[in-house]
Amino acid sequence: MNIKLASSYGFCYGVKRAIRIAEENPGSATYGPLIHNKDEIARLKDRYDIGLIESFEEAEKTDSIVIRTHGIPKNELKQLKAEGKKIVNATCPYVTTPQQIVEQMSREGYSIVIFGDRNHPEIKGVVSYADDPRDAFVVLDPEDLDELPLKSKVAVVAQTTRKPEDFLKIVGALTLRSKEVRVFNTICNATFENQDAAAELAREADVMIVIGGKHSSNTKQLHSICKNYCDDSYLIENEKELDSAWFEGKELCGISAGASTPDWIVQNVIDRIEAIVRDDVSSEE
Protein backbone atom coordinates (compact mmCIF):
# COMPACT_ATOMS: atom_id res chain seq x y z
CA MET A 1 0.00 0.00 0.00
CA ASN A 2 1.23 3.50 -0.86
CA ILE A 3 0.89 6.52 1.43
CA LYS A 4 0.33 9.97 -0.04
CA LEU A 5 0.13 13.34 1.71
CA ALA A 6 -2.28 16.04 0.54
CA SER A 7 -0.53 18.82 -1.36
CA SER A 8 -1.57 21.26 1.39
CA TYR A 9 -2.17 20.29 5.01
CA GLY A 10 -1.37 21.05 8.63
CA PHE A 11 -0.18 24.16 10.43
CA CYS A 12 -1.47 27.44 9.02
CA TYR A 13 0.18 30.85 9.46
CA GLY A 14 -1.99 31.79 12.44
CA VAL A 15 -1.18 28.60 14.35
CA LYS A 16 2.56 28.83 13.60
CA ARG A 17 2.48 32.41 14.86
CA ALA A 18 0.61 31.45 18.04
CA ILE A 19 3.01 28.59 18.83
CA ARG A 20 5.97 30.93 18.37
CA ILE A 21 4.39 33.54 20.65
CA ALA A 22 3.73 30.93 23.36
CA GLU A 23 7.28 29.61 23.16
CA GLU A 24 8.61 33.17 23.54
CA ASN A 25 6.60 33.60 26.76
CA PRO A 26 7.49 30.61 28.95
CA GLY A 27 5.68 30.39 32.26
CA SER A 28 2.61 32.20 30.90
CA ALA A 29 -0.88 30.74 30.62
CA THR A 30 -3.18 30.68 27.61
CA TYR A 31 -6.76 31.86 28.01
CA GLY A 32 -8.52 28.82 26.60
CA PRO A 33 -6.63 26.17 24.61
CA LEU A 34 -4.15 28.03 22.38
CA ILE A 35 -5.11 25.74 19.46
CA HIS A 36 -7.36 22.72 19.11
CA ASN A 37 -4.67 20.08 19.53
CA LYS A 38 -4.21 18.55 22.96
CA ASP A 39 -0.88 16.87 22.08
CA GLU A 40 0.71 20.16 21.03
CA ILE A 41 -0.70 21.87 24.13
CA ALA A 42 0.87 19.11 26.25
CA ARG A 43 4.22 19.72 24.50
CA LEU A 44 4.05 23.44 25.31
CA LYS A 45 3.26 22.62 28.93
CA ASP A 46 6.12 20.13 29.27
CA ARG A 47 8.77 22.16 27.46
CA TYR A 48 7.79 25.78 28.15
CA ASP A 49 5.58 25.56 31.25
CA ILE A 50 2.65 27.10 29.39
CA GLY A 51 -0.43 26.78 31.59
CA LEU A 52 -4.12 26.79 30.67
CA ILE A 53 -6.83 29.14 31.94
CA GLU A 54 -10.39 27.92 31.40
CA SER A 55 -12.42 30.88 32.73
CA PHE A 56 -12.35 34.66 33.05
CA GLU A 57 -12.20 34.30 36.84
CA GLU A 58 -8.96 32.33 36.47
CA ALA A 59 -7.62 34.94 34.03
CA GLU A 60 -8.14 37.70 36.59
CA LYS A 61 -5.86 35.77 38.98
CA THR A 62 -3.10 35.33 36.38
CA ASP A 63 -0.36 37.88 35.68
CA SER A 64 0.88 36.80 32.23
CA ILE A 65 -1.76 35.73 29.69
CA VAL A 66 -1.48 34.57 26.07
CA ILE A 67 -4.73 35.08 24.16
CA ARG A 68 -5.70 31.98 22.17
CA THR A 69 -5.71 31.93 18.36
CA HIS A 70 -9.53 32.04 18.34
CA GLY A 71 -9.63 35.29 20.35
CA ILE A 72 -11.74 36.18 23.39
CA PRO A 73 -14.74 38.51 23.89
CA LYS A 74 -13.94 42.21 23.51
CA ASN A 75 -15.10 43.21 27.00
CA GLU A 76 -12.93 40.55 28.66
CA LEU A 77 -9.83 41.66 26.75
CA LYS A 78 -10.52 45.29 27.68
CA GLN A 79 -11.00 44.45 31.36
CA LEU A 80 -7.85 42.33 31.62
CA LYS A 81 -5.81 45.16 30.09
CA ALA A 82 -7.41 47.65 32.51
CA GLU A 83 -6.35 45.43 35.42
CA GLY A 84 -2.73 45.70 34.32
CA LYS A 85 -2.24 42.10 33.21
CA LYS A 86 0.58 41.28 30.81
CA ILE A 87 -1.40 40.43 27.68
CA VAL A 88 0.26 38.76 24.71
CA ASN A 89 -2.30 38.56 21.93
CA ALA A 90 -1.90 35.44 19.78
CA THR A 91 -5.30 35.85 18.10
CA CYS A 92 -4.95 34.80 14.47
CA PRO A 93 -4.99 37.84 12.12
CA TYR A 94 -7.63 36.05 10.05
CA VAL A 95 -9.84 36.02 13.17
CA THR A 96 -9.09 39.65 13.99
CA THR A 97 -10.42 40.67 10.57
CA PRO A 98 -14.08 39.64 11.13
CA GLN A 99 -13.90 41.20 14.60
CA GLN A 100 -12.96 44.53 13.03
CA ILE A 101 -15.55 44.22 10.27
CA VAL A 102 -18.35 43.48 12.73
CA GLU A 103 -17.32 46.43 14.89
CA GLN A 104 -17.27 48.85 11.92
CA MET A 105 -20.44 47.63 10.19
CA SER A 106 -22.33 47.64 13.47
CA ARG A 107 -21.38 51.26 14.06
CA GLU A 108 -22.65 52.10 10.56
CA GLY A 109 -26.09 50.71 11.40
CA TYR A 110 -25.98 47.31 9.70
CA SER A 111 -27.49 44.14 11.05
CA ILE A 112 -24.73 41.58 11.40
CA VAL A 113 -25.06 37.99 10.18
CA ILE A 114 -22.26 35.64 11.16
CA PHE A 115 -22.07 32.24 9.46
CA GLY A 116 -20.67 29.76 11.94
CA ASP A 117 -21.10 27.81 15.16
CA ARG A 118 -22.42 30.03 17.96
CA ASN A 119 -20.70 27.82 20.57
CA HIS A 120 -17.25 28.13 18.99
CA PRO A 121 -14.87 30.50 20.85
CA GLU A 122 -14.02 32.32 17.61
CA ILE A 123 -17.66 33.19 17.01
CA LYS A 124 -18.28 34.19 20.62
CA GLY A 125 -15.44 36.65 20.25
CA VAL A 126 -16.64 38.02 16.89
CA VAL A 127 -20.19 38.57 18.18
CA SER A 128 -18.86 40.63 21.08
CA TYR A 129 -17.52 43.28 18.69
CA ALA A 130 -21.02 44.35 17.63
CA ASP A 131 -22.13 47.65 19.19
CA ASP A 132 -25.39 45.95 20.15
CA PRO A 133 -25.01 42.14 20.44
CA ARG A 134 -28.81 41.86 20.04
CA ASP A 135 -28.33 42.95 16.42
CA ALA A 136 -25.71 40.27 15.65
CA PHE A 137 -27.09 36.92 14.52
CA VAL A 138 -25.23 33.62 14.19
CA VAL A 139 -26.57 31.16 11.61
CA LEU A 140 -25.57 27.79 10.18
CA ASP A 141 -28.25 27.29 7.52
CA PRO A 142 -30.28 29.58 5.23
CA GLU A 143 -33.42 28.50 7.12
CA ASP A 144 -32.00 30.13 10.25
CA LEU A 145 -32.52 33.52 8.58
CA ASP A 146 -36.30 33.20 8.21
CA GLU A 147 -37.39 34.61 11.56
CA LEU A 148 -34.57 37.07 12.19
CA PRO A 149 -35.52 40.77 12.65
CA LEU A 150 -32.93 42.02 10.17
CA LYS A 151 -32.63 45.64 9.08
CA SER A 152 -32.71 46.61 5.41
CA LYS A 153 -28.91 46.84 5.55
CA VAL A 154 -27.05 43.63 6.40
CA ALA A 155 -23.35 42.80 6.68
CA VAL A 156 -22.32 39.14 6.60
CA VAL A 157 -19.06 37.45 7.65
CA ALA A 158 -18.04 33.81 8.06
CA GLN A 159 -16.21 31.72 10.60
CA THR A 160 -12.70 31.39 9.20
CA THR A 161 -12.84 27.59 8.84
CA ARG A 162 -16.21 27.14 7.10
CA LYS A 163 -16.86 25.72 3.63
CA PRO A 164 -17.10 28.46 0.96
CA GLU A 165 -20.03 26.76 -0.78
CA ASP A 166 -22.06 26.81 2.44
CA PHE A 167 -21.24 30.48 2.99
CA LEU A 168 -22.54 31.26 -0.50
CA LYS A 169 -25.91 29.68 0.39
CA ILE A 170 -26.25 32.12 3.29
CA VAL A 171 -25.26 35.05 1.08
CA GLY A 172 -27.76 33.99 -1.61
CA ALA A 173 -30.61 33.76 0.87
CA LEU A 174 -29.80 37.21 2.28
CA THR A 175 -29.81 38.88 -1.13
CA LEU A 176 -33.38 37.70 -1.66
CA ARG A 177 -34.70 39.41 1.47
CA SER A 178 -32.50 42.45 2.13
CA LYS A 179 -32.12 45.67 0.14
CA GLU A 180 -28.42 45.98 0.85
CA VAL A 181 -26.03 43.13 1.66
CA ARG A 182 -22.35 43.75 2.37
CA VAL A 183 -20.46 40.47 1.96
CA PHE A 184 -17.06 39.97 3.57
CA ASN A 185 -15.31 36.72 2.73
CA THR A 186 -13.47 36.02 5.97
CA ILE A 187 -12.77 32.34 5.31
CA CYS A 188 -9.03 31.72 5.72
CA ASN A 189 -6.96 31.08 2.57
CA ALA A 190 -5.25 28.15 4.29
CA THR A 191 -8.69 26.62 4.83
CA PHE A 192 -9.41 26.88 1.09
CA GLU A 193 -6.10 25.27 0.19
CA ASN A 194 -6.32 22.44 2.71
CA GLN A 195 -9.91 21.64 1.77
CA ASP A 196 -9.24 21.62 -1.97
CA ALA A 197 -6.14 19.45 -1.51
CA ALA A 198 -8.02 16.99 0.73
CA ALA A 199 -10.87 16.68 -1.78
CA GLU A 200 -8.44 16.07 -4.64
CA LEU A 201 -6.62 13.32 -2.75
CA ALA A 202 -9.80 11.71 -1.41
CA ARG A 203 -11.02 11.19 -4.98
CA GLU A 204 -8.16 8.77 -5.68
CA ALA A 205 -7.53 7.22 -2.25
CA ASP A 206 -8.91 3.92 -0.97
CA VAL A 207 -8.67 5.16 2.61
CA MET A 208 -8.21 8.69 4.00
CA ILE A 209 -6.74 9.57 7.37
CA VAL A 210 -7.48 13.09 8.62
CA ILE A 211 -5.35 14.11 11.60
CA GLY A 212 -6.42 16.77 14.06
CA GLY A 213 -8.30 17.69 17.22
CA LYS A 214 -11.78 16.23 17.60
CA HIS A 215 -12.98 19.72 18.64
CA SER A 216 -11.28 21.50 15.75
CA SER A 217 -13.78 23.03 13.33
CA ASN A 218 -11.40 23.06 10.35
CA THR A 219 -10.37 19.42 10.95
CA LYS A 220 -14.00 18.27 11.14
CA GLN A 221 -14.64 20.13 7.88
CA LEU A 222 -11.72 18.30 6.24
CA HIS A 223 -13.08 14.96 7.41
CA SER A 224 -16.55 15.80 6.09
CA ILE A 225 -15.11 16.73 2.69
CA CYS A 226 -13.07 13.52 2.50
CA LYS A 227 -16.14 11.43 3.34
CA ASN A 228 -17.87 12.92 0.29
CA TYR A 229 -15.30 11.24 -1.98
CA CYS A 230 -13.92 8.36 0.08
CA ASP A 231 -16.24 6.35 2.33
CA ASP A 232 -13.33 4.98 4.33
CA SER A 233 -12.26 8.32 5.79
CA TYR A 234 -11.26 8.48 9.44
CA LEU A 235 -10.59 11.35 11.84
CA ILE A 236 -7.88 10.72 14.44
CA GLU A 237 -5.92 12.86 16.88
CA ASN A 238 -2.74 10.79 16.86
CA GLU A 239 -1.24 7.45 15.82
CA LYS A 240 -2.66 5.65 18.86
CA GLU A 241 -6.14 5.77 17.33
CA LEU A 242 -5.20 3.93 14.12
CA ASP A 243 -6.89 0.59 13.44
CA SER A 244 -5.02 -1.94 11.30
CA ALA A 245 -8.33 -3.16 9.83
CA TRP A 246 -8.73 0.17 8.02
CA PHE A 247 -5.85 -0.66 5.68
CA GLU A 248 -6.69 -4.25 4.75
CA GLY A 249 -6.92 -4.63 0.98
CA LYS A 250 -6.18 -0.94 0.35
CA GLU A 251 -3.78 0.34 -2.30
CA LEU A 252 -3.56 4.07 -1.57
CA CYS A 253 -3.80 5.76 1.83
CA GLY A 254 -4.27 9.51 1.68
CA ILE A 255 -3.35 11.74 4.61
CA SER A 256 -4.50 15.25 5.43
CA ALA A 257 -4.24 17.25 8.65
CA GLY A 258 -6.02 20.17 10.25
CA ALA A 259 -4.51 23.62 10.69
CA SER A 260 -3.67 22.89 14.33
CA THR A 261 -1.82 19.65 13.64
CA PRO A 262 2.01 19.82 13.93
CA ASP A 263 4.30 17.94 11.55
CA TRP A 264 5.63 15.70 14.32
CA ILE A 265 2.17 14.19 14.86
CA VAL A 266 1.71 13.70 11.11
CA GLN A 267 5.06 11.89 10.95
CA ASN A 268 4.12 9.67 13.91
CA VAL A 269 0.96 8.65 12.05
CA ILE A 270 2.89 7.88 8.86
CA ASP A 271 5.43 5.81 10.80
CA ARG A 272 2.66 3.83 12.49
CA ILE A 273 0.80 3.15 9.23
CA GLU A 274 4.04 1.95 7.61
CA ALA A 275 4.60 -0.38 10.57
CA ILE A 276 1.05 -1.75 10.25
CA VAL A 277 1.58 -2.43 6.55
CA ARG A 278 4.93 -4.14 7.22
CA ASP A 279 3.36 -6.33 9.88
CA ASP A 280 0.56 -7.32 7.47
CA VAL A 281 3.06 -8.25 4.74
CA SER A 282 5.12 -10.31 7.20
CA SER A 283 2.02 -12.14 8.39
CA GLU A 284 1.03 -13.04 4.80
CA GLU A 285 4.52 -14.32 4.06
**Whole-number Å distance between alpha carbons of 122 and 52:** 17
122 catalytic per annotation: yes
**Whole-number Å distance between alpha carbons of 75 and 225:** 36
Question: On the CB side of 170, how many CA atoms lie within 13 Å of its CA?
Answer: 28
Residues in the chain: 285
CB 139 within 8 A of CB 112: no
Considering the candidates 40, 76, 122, 237, report the single residue annotated as catalytic: 122
DSSP per-residue string spanning 51-63: EEE-SHHHHHT-S
- The torsion defined by the Cα of 246, 247, 250 and 251, in degrees rounded to 10, comes to 140
**Whole-number Å distance between alpha carbons of 258 and 222:** 7
Q: Which neighbouring-strand residues pair with 158? A: 115
What amino acid positions are annotated as catalytic residues? 122
